[in-house]
Amino acid sequence: MEKLQIKPELTSKMFEVLSGMWITGCVKTASELNIADHLADGPKAISLLAEETDSQEKQLYRIMRALSSVGIFEELENKIFALNDLGATLLTGVPGTVKDFVLANMSEHFPGFGDLTYSVKTGKVPFEHIHGMSLWDYYKKYPELAANFGRGMTGLSGMELQGIIQTYDFTPYKKIVDIGGGNGVMMHSILNVSPESSGIIFDESHVIEKTKQLIPENLKNRCFVSTGSFFDKVPEDADLYTMKWIIHDWNDEECVKILKVCHHAMPKGAKLLIIDAVIPDDSQNKPHIAKLLDIVMMACITGRERSANEFKDLVERAGLQFNRVIDIGTEAKSIVECEKI
């Protein structure tokens, strides 16, 4: 066989792919040091940034130079840095922030991405191999990290909430249950556009304690909470059930169990919306964020991202009818509508 020759431009391309890890490390540092928050009031010299973050000026400059070179923050003259739109996604506590999600991915999740071979060889979860417990047990053991992860999920909600609300008509449904509803942001958004509807946010007790406190004053007369495990029981007799980023957390058998619990609770004619990424059924395998989110699942939990046909198989195994997939304008989420007939 003739010896293969690798083209220099392809070596360069792969080098560029690898550099994504290096810049992500810089993003983690900027998040940990709250750089975006420090720049929120205006540009600052690196010397002042170093002083405010208790950092070494030379090392911090190297981080900020690298980030600015790829459009995260902006370097002005004389080593002065400014917040730009992309850097603003690392602000603390604002809608659309990815700061907390960055910290989760680059802290407790990160070792799993370096151990994907373990999953390929064994079919098991790298996170569990490294940490000695499931992600969910880990978050029960370290509630402060669980809280950060919850904030990370909330920050990402801005990516899809507007699309969900604008695309799907919730007004016909009088009683809505959000299964695994977390802090309730999605339910609040639904009720704000459905003034005749009431809602129940369902989650585990340690989550719901905080959720109840977060219900806005204008919704307290029609937004309620309920506790339990969706593997056992969910609130009954609602017109509509929603699950956002829940089904992708579990393997097929676990998903069918969850969906059967939903089926049992639903009256005939009730609908279930599974809000997850949907991998396109394309023969050419074009780039799609769901294919990368699937690797996050592989690294950290038993779940996976699925195609429309795979969702159809799951819901039908649970006794539900698969109606349609609804595009909401982002690859990270679609609505899979199901119904009990």
Sequence letter at residue 149: F
The number of residues in the chain equals: 341
Question: Has 248 been annotated as catalytic?
Answer: yes
Q: What is the pLDDT of residue 2?
A: 66
| 140 and 162, same domain (yes or no) | no
1 domain residue, yes or no: no
Same domain membership, residue 277 and residue 181: yes
Residue range 265-276: average pLDDT?
98
Domain end marker among 154, 178, 199: 154
The CA distance from 38 to 58, in Å, is: 18
Do residue 290 and residue 217 come from a single domain?
Answer: yes
Q: Are residues 163 and 274 in the same domain?
A: yes
Instruction: State what percent of residues in the chain have pLDDT above 70.
Output: 99
Distance CA 238, CA 198 (A): 10
User: Taking all residues of the chain, what is their mean pLDDT, rounded to a whole number?
Assistant: 95
Give a yes or no: residue 3 inside a domain: no
pLDDT band at 160 (very low <50, low <70, confident <90, very high): confident
Among the options 109, 131, 188, 248, which is catalytic? 248
Paired with 199 in beta bridges are 176, 223
pLDDT band at residue 273 using 50, 70 and 90 as cut-offs: very high
Contact predicate 161/170, CB 8 Å: no
- Averaged pLDDT for residues 166-170: 96
Residues 192 and 315 in one domain: yes
How high is the pLDDT of residue 28? 98
pLDDT tens digits, one per residue of 302-325: 999 999 999 999 999 999 999 999
Based on its alpha-carbon atoms, the radius of gyration of the chain, rounded to whole angstroms, reads 22
Q: Give how far Cα 29 sits from Cα of 22, 85, 193, Å.
A: 11, 18, 39
Residue 188 lies in a domain: yes
- If you search the block for the tokens 């905080």, which residue do you land on? 210
pLDDT in tens, 222-242: 999 999 999 999 999 999 999
For residues 266 and 241, the answer to whether their CB atoms sit within 8 Å is: yes
Alpha carbon 149 to chain centroid, angstroms:
9
Q: What is the per-residue pLDDT for 1?
A: 52
Query: Do 265 and 334 belong to one domain?
Result: yes
Instruction: Note the pLDDT tens digit of each residue in 30-47.
Output: 999 999 999 999 999 999
In contact, 305 and 289? CB cutoff 8 Å: no
